[in-house]
Structure 1
Amino acid sequence: MNVTLHELTGELIRVVPMDKSHIQGLYEAANDENIWAHLPKTITTLHGMEAFVEEALQTKESGAEFPFVIIQRETGKIVGTTRFLYMSSAARSLEIGWTWFHPSVWGTSVNTECKYLLLQYCFEHLNTIRVQFKTDERNIRSQKAIERLGAVKEGILRNQMIRKDGTFRNSVFFSIIDSDWPSVKQHLEQRLKLAEKAK
């Protein structure tokens, strides 16, 4: 799948392709243990973030994934990261995942705008017919955030992953398909407008 974007810009954030210059900013954004509760790894050191970015860039080089950083326009600071993964040109599908944000933007419109920009790119530029999301069955906050996007819950895959503590993880899968996109787009635009008016 040929992802060639340089930047996606919204009212609140910029979504830009990850590179090594983002290591320090990502490390600073990741400095909260709550971020890592349901993610496959925990990053607590600058060296750990260097390895995280290096691994992400290797997956980009291989064409398997495409990692981004999310920059808050007001402050110019990195507030999180996300990526495209499981990209298939043949199936015209991908997953948006490995998403985390600094808790300072939890409960704001940052995630909504980020997903809006990425979904718009997927359906209107990459011509995808399916975008999927998955999360830990225990991660209720993430499930609710995905549902608020307008994604359809498809089901649970049991023992789909092994958590970093060795326990088995059931993963909840959601999707948005091409026929969903017009109504999902309208829904997200309305949410963003209402949030702007409420300021």
Structure 2
Amino acid sequence: MIVSLYGLEGEFVKLAVMNSSHTKELFNAAKDASIWRHLPKTIQVFDDMQLFVNEAIEKMETGTEIPFVIIDKQSDEIVGSTRFLDISNFTRSLEIGWTWLTPHVWGTKVNMECKYLLLKYCFEKLNLIRVQLKTDEQNIRSQKAIERIGCKKEGILRNHMIRKDGTYRNSVIYSIIENDWISVKHQLENTLYRK
């Protein structure tokens, strides 16, 4: 699977393939503890972010994940990251995940356009037949954001993960398949770019 090293660009965001030079800006964007409430990792100190970035790059080098930084075009600052993961050339599918954003862009068009660019690339360039997203069952804000994109809820994986506090996490699974893409694309474009 090939992704241009120049990344993807829309009207509101740019997505650049993550590299170690992004670490400091990612750390600055990741300081609000509420970002990490529903994610398996917590970034508290710079070394945590360095490890996060190094692990993402290692997975990219093995071909299992492709991490991106999310750049807000208005401020030209990194405001979060996202990834392609569980990449399968055999089943022509992948997952979009590990998405986190700094709180000041929550509720803006940043996340929606980020997902639009990734989905467009998946279905129109990579010719995938399925893209999935998942989130913690307790993360209602994330579920609503995923549903606004046009993803279909498929179900819940019970006791799917163990949270940092030791409690069990149920994960809600969503997908878009190739037959959904045209209508999802039009819906996203109308929401994002309607003048």
Shorter chain as normaliser: what TM range?
A: over 0.9
Aligned equivalents of 1:130, 1:146: Cα separation in 2: 15
The residue aligned with 1:94 is 94
Map Cα deviations across residues 156-176 of structure 1 (whole Å, 9 max, x no partner). 010011111111100000000
1:6 Cα deviation from its structure 2 partner: 2.2
Local SS of the residue matching 2:34: helix
Aligned equivalents of 2:5, 2:188: Cα separation in 1: 21
Q: How does 1:1-199 map to 2 (within 5 A)?
A: 1-194=1-194, 197=195
Local SS of the residue matching 1:179: helix
The aligned amino acid for 2:119 is L
Aligned equivalents of 2:30, 2:166: Cα separation in 1: 23
1:4 Cα deviation from its structure 2 partner: 3.8
Map Cα deviations across residues 121-170 of structure 1 (whole Å, 9 max, x no partner). 00000110000000000000000000000100000010011111111100
Map Cα deviations across residues 70-103 of structure 1 (whole Å, 9 max, x no partner). 0111211100100000000000000000000000
* Unpaired segments ≥5 residues, structure 1: none
The aligned amino acid for 1:131 is V
Aligned equivalents of 2:156, 2:48: Cα separation in 1: 31
1:193 Cα deviation from its structure 2 partner: 2.0
1:185 Cα deviation from its structure 2 partner: 0.2
Aligned equivalents of 2:128, 2:179: Cα separation in 1: 11
1:5 Cα deviation from its structure 2 partner: 4.7
Residue correspondences, number: 195
Moved more, 53-62 or 5-14: 5-14
The aligned amino acid for 1:33 is A
Aligned equivalents of 2:4, 2:62: Cα separation in 1: 14
Q: 1:3·1:126 contact (CA, 8 Å) conserved in 2?
A: no
* Unpaired segments ≥5 residues, structure 2: none
Local SS of the residue matching 2:74: coil
Aligned equivalents of 1:143, 1:17: Cα separation in 2: 25
Map Cα deviations across residues 45-75 of structure 1 (whole Å, 9 max, x no partner). 1111001000000000000000000011121
